[in-house]
Chains A and B, each alone.
Chain A
Amino acid sequence: MGVPERQQIQPKRKAKPRWLLHLFPLPALILYTLFVIYPILSAFTYSMYEWKGIARGAFVGLQNFLTLFQVEPFNKLFWNAFGHNVIYFLVEMVVQNGIAFVLAFLIYRKIRGAGFLKAAYFMPRLLSVIVVGFLWKLILNPNYGALNTLLGKLGLEEWAKPWLGDPDTALLAIILVNCWFGIGFAVLIFLAGLQSIPEELIEAARLDGAKGLTMLSRIILPLVMPSLTIMTIFTFIQAFEAFELVYAMQGSMGEPFHSTDTLAVYFYRLAFSGSGGAGDVSIGLGSALAVVLFFIVASVSALSLKAMRKREVQH
């Protein structure tokens, strides 16, 4: 600090010790360990203790995990929520990523207004999830919401439903809102992938007579595989950690009748309890669930990354 400027500018050719280099990631590393690694490790330890409220009791080994998978209603709720996460993932893959790919392809082919569209698709992403949830709650309101009003105006009254109150539609409604929210991001990723395909490759393929679907499936798809891989894994992680939108739209009980419960919401309920802070909290069970969730996400992500990398083509 107190060093005069001139001295600093003087070129010093003396070799600096190499270990100093390792200090540069330190600030980021400290934050990362403090807010990511430490909580994960503490969740591991918490999951093996008995808890009375927030006071830690005796070491119980794997008891919490056994409870989670063997005792009613915990096991039922777990598989119920797990199933919803799977649906979440599948629908997002098909709807969000499917539409996003088509949109990205159209923008890539330089349709008119591509720049504007790119920004427009990304717009929802700029809103806070809570705002998105609130907005769609209003739109989907059964009695004065825009959607049912519109259906009424179109003469489709019988299609109108209490979208978020009916267990048959509630989960799908939330997932579709999430697709609306996430589509812009997927478009950007796909577009980046498409644009990184060297022009010469496309030219060469065209000269060889590839066009239309052949071009798409044989040339373009393999070349954008890295973005598809990344997006699939993002979608998987996001689907298995789905919390905010469910919480914003349906509360911490995964209402109605647990039809929108996801593992993360279930975790929240277990560890911090449901409505108004009343009721028992079970940090042990909550942590056990968090650990299970961590393993599901980490292992599946790693495996699928490995599997999908193989199918990628280098250019």
Chain B
Amino acid sequence: MRRSGSHVFVSAMLTVLLVLAGCSGGTNPASPGDGQNGGQTGSPGGSAGGGSSGGGAEQVTLSMHSWRVEDAEGYKKIIQAFEAENPGIKIDFKPFKATEYNTILNTALQSDSGPDVLQLRPYAPGISLAEAGHLEPLDQLPGIQNFSKDVLAAATGKDGKVYGVPLSLNSTQIYYNKRLFEQNGLKEPKSWDELIAVAKTLKDKGIVPFAFGAKEGWLLSLSHGVIAPGAYNGNAFVSKILNGEADFTSPEFVKSIQRAQELIPYFPENFVGLDLNDTRTMFFTEKAAMFINGSFELEGLQKMNPDLPLDFFPMPTDDGKAVLTTWVDGSYAVNAKSKHKQEALKFLEFMASKKFGELFANQFKRISAIPGVVTSDPLVNKMAELSASSSTPYLMVVHFAEGNPTTKQTLENSLQGMYLNKLTPEQVSQEVQKSAAIWFPRFKK
């Protein structure tokens, strides 16, 4: 390779590039001001762009983005139901890979090429889009008043306005194998001590009590989210911590982490090296009796082993109740710069209706966020009922998924440390507190 000749060229190219880089930087900070073009909603004359000469009404195609690639087929059916009622509107459902969705959506919104209707991440990450002025407020949307305030909180901005129609709820609970329980004369535990007793009996009989692995951090905060409300009695402590009257070093929270540690003897061998696949397989092949996981695992479990005698119980609390840990899994929002806002709002109105809720819940076996929706699956119904009657938020997702690394990630990593005998429960709680103190307003001093 002889380089001397091309030196001039390289330096020339570099200069050009520097100039280019400068330019692209200059155009970047795009106009947050022109988000308020309120008046343009009147009929968008030729902009519909359709060559399809319909009978009378003009055809409008709404674009819709989501991160649920696996749901594309199901959405097709739901969208058909809407299109049948609204012949003038077509919906183009376009899902993206979940891990890339945020980037794709953010880029599109910033370059004003965003979709008309978009699926919104729950809580802080989604709300930040509203705060950047990308979303249309939905307080006046018919049907929005039916949702409870807790549910709407997933898409409510700091200005108090609602920016999304909640789609579904997730719940986490302890699934159990009814057959294994019956064979060993066990019943759903009603307290922590009973839960430990159940686990002990199973272990003595040679059955793995909990299909649990510590290799994937997110499953650690998830299972802690199930166990913890039992230790700190659910919502009473949640409101205390949100008001700053308690923090993560409070004895109730430390106890919740101690309980996560107390379960170690009832985990499978080598649990620190097991991931979700391993533990899920253990559970549906009936080698393990209990499985702490989310409502989103239900469909998969039933598919992998249709004969699995599956049930679940909510977490018994120390004050004699039982709670189900829940959070909102995404909402749907309207792009503030959509050219077809009227039509998009109409579609969202449909998404807030009970009819949609039933279609959705039956299609995906998920808990609809719309109150009173009943499905054909008894377990989904049980989850829906419990999440209406006795739910407690998944604290780390709903309130502490901020910071860098997030407080949730800090908990996950520290719990992993605890399961590897590197940290004590007290140290875990201190790490979590340290992380939250950086950004959580009530903890800042």
Contacts and interface: CB of A to CB of B under 8 A. Distances in A.
A37 B416 CA distance: 39
Given A276-B98, A276-B218, A279-B401, A253 B270 contact: no
A277 B98 contact: yes
Contact of A277 (B102, B217, B403, B405): B102
A6 interface: no
Nearest to B28: A56
Nearest to A162: B273
Contact of B215 (A38, A54, A255): A255
A29 B10 contact: yes
Contacts of A258: 413
A307 to B, nearest CB: 22
A168 to B, nearest CB: 9
A33 B216 CA distance: 39
A277 B273 contact: no
Nearest to A160: B270
Contact of B110 (A54, A276, A282): A54
B239 interface: no
Contacts of B186: none
Interface in B10-62: 10, 13-14, 17-18, 20-21, 25, 28-29
Interface in B66-103: 67, 98-103
Contacts of A277: 67, 98-103, 121, 125
B376 interface: no
A275 B6 CA distance: 44
Contacts of A282: 404
Nearest to B29: A56
Given A54-B106, A279-B406, A41 B17 contact: yes
Contacts of A10: none
A165 B214 contact: yes
Contacts of B213: 165
A253 B21 contact: no
A166 to B, nearest CB: 6
Contacts of B107: 54
A270 B405 CA distance: 8
Contacts of B98: 276-277
A141 B405 contact: no
Interface in A277-294: 277-282, 285
B110 A55 contact: yes
A280 B435 CA distance: 13
B27 to A, nearest CB: 11
Nearest to B397: A278
A42 B416 CA distance: 36
A45 interface: yes
Looking at A143, A257, A277, the one whose CB has the most chain B CB atoms below 10 A away is A257
B401 A278 contact: yes
Given A274-B405, A279-B401, A279-B408, A166 B420 contact: yes
Given A165-B273, A167-B422, A255 B217 contact: yes
Interface in A23-42: 25-26, 29-30, 33, 37-38, 41-42
Contact of B274 (A22, A143, A272): A143
B13 A33 contact: yes
A272 to B, nearest CB: 7
B273 A141 contact: yes
A99 B17 CA distance: 44
Contact of B402 (A38, A54, A280): A280
Interface in A194-210: none
Given A53-B128, A56-B28, A255-B416, A41 B21 contact: yes
A285 B410 CA distance: 18
Interface string A139-176: 01111000000000000000001111111000000000
B272 to A, nearest CB: 4
A256 interface: yes
A2 interface: no
A194 B401 CA distance: 56
Contact of A255 (B106, B216, B271, B278): B216
A42 B24 CA distance: 10
A125 B9 CA distance: 36
A277 B274 CA distance: 23
B420 A25 contact: no
A25 B413 CA distance: 49
Given A251-B216, A256-B272, A279-B404, A22 B6 contact: yes
A257 B409 CA distance: 11
Given A143-B269, A167-B422, A21 B5 contact: yes
Nearest to B6: A25
B18 A41 contact: yes
A73 interface: yes
Interface in B376-394: none
Nearest to B123: A278
Given A45-B25, A54-B103, A276-B99, A257 B110 contact: no
Interface in A252-266: 253, 255-258
Contacts of B215: 164-165, 255-256
A65 B376 CA distance: 56
Given A22-B5, A165-B214, A166-B420, A278 B278 contact: no
Contacts of A251: 216
Given A54-B110, A162-B272, A256-B272, 9 more contacts: A25-B9, A37-B17, A38-B17, A164-B215, A257-B420, A275-B409, A277-B100, A279-B125, A279-B405
8 contacts: A25-B9, A38-B17, A41-B17, A45-B21, A165-B214, A165-B270, A258-B413, A279-B401
10 shortest A-B CB distances, which residue pairs? A162-B273, A165-B273, A142-B270, A165-B272, A142-B273, A162-B270, A280-B404, A279-B406, A277-B102, A257-B417
